[in-house]
Amino acid sequence: MPRGSLGVRTITGTTGAAAYELIAPAGCILREMLVTLAAATATTLGLGRPAAIGVTPTSPVLIPFEYGSGNLQTKTAVAWGTPPTIPASFYRRIGFPATIGSSINWTFERGLYIPAGGSIILWNLASNGVLDVSVEVDE
């Protein structure tokens, strides 16, 4: 099973909008997500499955593999033609103080499965700062 990781910076902190999407065209298992505040702005986020995935990501970035064979198809996006919609519920929520470098490292012992054609998003629950987001996934 190939494993890969990638770190990106978000571009929007708009309330009630997706900041980041992990897209799994072939399905993947999210092992770890590190979220770090990159601006001195109090920030509240939720991690969940969107009601509808984003359409036509304008800046998708494929996750490079660390080991295993083949190429990963999982990718990330921070901008879309049509953005993902709010999750019905959240796996995790976090509130950061207005301190650059505040972070959370979410680990999923058995992995958080994202089915083929699905995604996981970080949703801005308030007017937020930009984030550095690093993920580790298996396909």
Closest CA to 85 of 53, 42, 60: 53
Query: Residue holding tokens 């770090």?
Result: 36
Q: Give, as one character, the DSSP assignment of residue 78.
A: S
Q: What is the DSSP string of 96-123?
A: E-S-TT-EEEEEEEEEEEE-TTEEEEEE
Closest CA to 121 of 107, 108, 138, 135: 135
Distance CA 19, CA 29 (A): 20
Task: Quote the pLDDT of residue 67.
Answer: 81
Task: Quote the pLDDT of residue 121.
Answer: 98
Distance CA 4, CA 65 (A): 4
* 132: Cβ contacts below 8 Å, ≥ 6 apart: 7, 8, 9, 10, 34, 35, 36, 38
At 132, which amino acid appears?
A: D
Q: How far is CA 5 from the centre of its chain?
A: 12
Domains annotated on the chain, with CATH: 3-138 (2.60.120)
Tens digits of pLDDT across the chain (139 residues): 889 999 999 999 999 999 999 999 999 999 999 999 999 999 999 999 999 999 999 889 999 988 876 679 999 999 999 999 999 999 999 999 999 999 999 999 999 999 999 999 999 999 999 999 999 999 9
